[in-house]
Chains A and B, each alone.
Chain A
Amino acid sequence: MMTQRRINSLIKQFFAFLFLVFMLLPFFLVLINALKPRIEIIKNPMALPHALSLANFTKAWVTMKFGTVLMNTAYITAFSQILLIVFGAMLSYMLVRWDFKANKIIFTVLICAMIIPFQSLMIPFVSIFGKLGLMNSRTALIFFYMGFGMPMTTFMYHGFMKGISREMEEAALIDGCSHFYCFWKIVFPNLKPITTTILIVNILWIWNDFLLPSLVLIKDKNRTIPLSTFYFFGEYTAELGLAMAALILSVLPVVVIYLFLQKQIVTGVMDGAIK
């Protein structure tokens, strides 16, 4: 029985499906063109491949030095993440649980620091770090990411921590636990949802960041994934199959990470922000 409601819902589904096709069409084209040799791409870019061939992928991996680049990006992302989470959680614990006057000032300054766009700081950053001789160093990059990610991380932890009750901490403190131990053993495991959210948001940002590594990392062996994709694409636009394969390779790690942790984002951001 086709009631009016079912017809409405079918029409909405149809338009949603059209929108989905429209959005996914570029990815689909890149994917099928990465699997074809060059001659087939020139003949008909939109046709499905006759035979699946992974030759483009292997050649792109070797030419782009994808293994080294992936290790670089993973190293930078992992270290800055660990530092951000450790220090951000501790800072927001102090801001929430103690009532110093300085806490309000610190929190307001952190929120204002979120507004500063990166372009205002990149020019002094490059000139000062250039004079210190820290160009080409991935550690300087980690240091900068930690500074830039701290306001957002602390803000999200702060919102979430206000909703955690103090009973367990007070019980532990009465029993003679030190503050440091109390934080790491009791409060931090309760912060798992928001930690996952912060992890995802920061990983997506640091992994895909192009501007900062392009200013700091100059040598070939220190490049990150967006940099190396950009330079590769600039050199190899004539060989479309190879370029498409390089693009697919650079997208894969982030998609895998995101699919693993995706449910946590929406619930986590809203929980942290509204409180």
Chain B
Amino acid sequence: MKKWIDAVLQSPKLVAVPIMTHPGIEYIGKSVRDAVSDGEVHFTAVKKLEELYPSATCCTIMDLTVEAEAFGAPINLPEHEIPTVSGRLVSTYDEVAALQVPDLTAGRVPQYLLANRLCAQFVKDRPVFGGCIGPFSLAGRLFDMSEIMTAIYIEPDTINLLLDKCTQFITAYCQAIKQAGSDGVVMAEPAAGLLSDNDALLFSTEYVKQIVAAVQDDSFTVILHNCGNMGHCTNSMVQSGARALHFGNKADMGQVIADVPDDIIVMGNLDPVTTFKQATPEEVKNLTSKLLRKMAGHANFVVSSGCDLPPHVPHDNINAFFSAVAEFNASI
């Protein structure tokens, strides 16, 4: 994996990695519910994307409910939309203290690990990234997102205890993803983007760092995704130690690249909806080219979508994105 990162940093050619799995699920004619519940369907969708598009990596589904469900949180599992956590699991210190950290057989975790294993086994031409949630975003799903925002000030001991348990589970999950043969993990921590940089350091980065220290090495990379960051908490992302940082479409990539050291990969940030889903192929190509020109000369930049592509993105738009990247690289 280090070789791949070094190659990205040293190559004048730009690398493209849109975060997407819905197009693959749609292409194989399965529902979202099928894909998030069955590791083989999940793998088939990801493999189809590998066949269809020249993405530099292969990523499993960005599903921010798997870990909360493993803890016992109730979830909605609609047929054609991504699952969502539907209720609060813990609300007091005592409840958090009594909360058991689940093992890796809970909920749909085994199916996600199966998808990682199959991807690692059958995708040989590019690195495979699994997906997981970040500790603060998981804690928010277990404690209620609105409530955790005020609880970090009113009852910080409760939240720190909950974050310890979330971190323990995510670390074990990432280690299992690594053992499954994946080359890294995309850790989605969007809720940290709602905090100030200082609070993000205290209630997210402090815990992300522990996970990174436990799993990241030359064979396994953590990509920290925070699409809630509007540029105000980039420092907290840098401090995580993750070798790659992924930004949402609200961040100014010109500012981001100036705030991030050159040896850390910076990924982002075309709008998944207004660009990938709603624009015409010509507009997608123009917007992609515009971003590439803006970021030209930054070897640590990897062009990507700002977040997971939603369902029903036209294939012509995805092709237009890759076409813009190919034309840009041909011009170098």
Q: Report if A and B associate in a common complex.
A: no
